[in-house]
Amino acid sequence: TPPTDCPPDVEDLGRSTWTFLHTLSANYPSRATSTQQTEMRQFLTLFSRLYPCWTCAEDFRTWMGTRGNEPRVEGREGLGRWMCEAHNEVNRKLGKREFECARWEERWRSGWRDGRCD
């Protein structure tokens, strides 16, 4: 395994960033105030402009800007599902398996029902 004190490649950066984005969704209020909704929308817009893998960022922006793919910021459930769909879009592009979005909360919030995260 390579040393860990080197700059991240696109894969390492991606894994860390998805951990952050899904954890962000998992800790979003179940019913967000209008201020929280505005801030989340602004965060995602800025994220999609600043993410330091430029082709990744551009594709993400294009997907986010397509009708039907707008961020769902009303609350945790919607945002978590939306983030899962965004991640699945990248998974499809890279030929990776799609994740079953009904289970995003088990993966990123509660831990799996089989108790392996307890």
Q: Which residue, 34 or 51, has its beta carbon nearer to ligand FAD?
A: 51
Helices 76-94 and 54-64: crossing angle in degrees, nearest 10, is 130
Q: Which residue, 15 or 49, has its beta carbon nearer to ligand FAD?
A: 15
Judged by the rule CB under 6 A, the positions of this chain that interact with ligand FAD are: 10-11, 14-15, 17-18, 22, 51, 55-56, 59-60, 84, 87-88, 90-91, 94, 96, 99, 104, 107
Q: Which residue, 34 or 85, has its beta carbon nearer to ligand FAD?
A: 85
- 15 closest CA partner among 82, 96, 76, 109: 96
Cβ neighbours, 10 Å, residue 24: 17
Nearest distance from C-beta of residue 103 to ligand FAD, angstroms: 8
Nearest distance from C-beta of residue 30 to ligand FAD, angstroms: 18
Identify the sign of the CA torsion 5, 7, 11, 12: positive
Q: How far apart are CA 79 and CA 28, in angstroms?
A: 8
The identity of residue 52, as a single letter, is: P
Q: Which residue, 45 or 88, has its beta carbon nearer to ligand FAD?
A: 88
Which residue's beta carbon is nearest to the bound ligand FAD?
Answer: 14
